[in-house]
Amino acid sequence: MIAQILVADDNTDITSLLSEYLSGRRHRVIVAYDGFQLSQKAAQHRPHLIITDVQMPGAYGSSVYQVLQKDPATKGIPILFISAYPLERLKHILPNDPKTRFMQKPLNFADLERTICELLPMGGYVP
């Protein structure tokens, strides 16, 4: 099965770019535009992976992470945090969890593909 990936960013250019890239890799993509939608769609769809901007309206991606960790249905979902800010500036709000990664925008698609392979079994495909 191809992975179901939830992409959350308040910048529609980023969501469109990621959706197009991931769909081209045959992943199923769900899109959210703020932290509230991210939380709601994660609970509803239970994606295999979440790619989220750190700072969004409604709730920061890092805050939604805390909510998802409290729900047994979403607790194990790997998360890739993305931001225009460098990691050093965001380190204090990002979780230190082996199921999370961080990438700085603009995204390098080779690095994105490698990170998806790290976070998902079988290189982005799921059993």
10-residue mean pLDDT series, the chain (127 residues): 90 97 95 94 96 85 84 93 93 90 96 93 68
What is the DSSP track for the chain?
-BPEEEEE-S-HHHHHHHHHHHHHTT-EEEEESSHHHHHHHHHHH--SEEEEESS-SSS-HHHHHHHHHHSTTTTT--EEEEESS-HHHHTTTS---TTEEEEESSPPHHHHHHHHHHHSGGGGB--
pLDDT of residue 93: 87
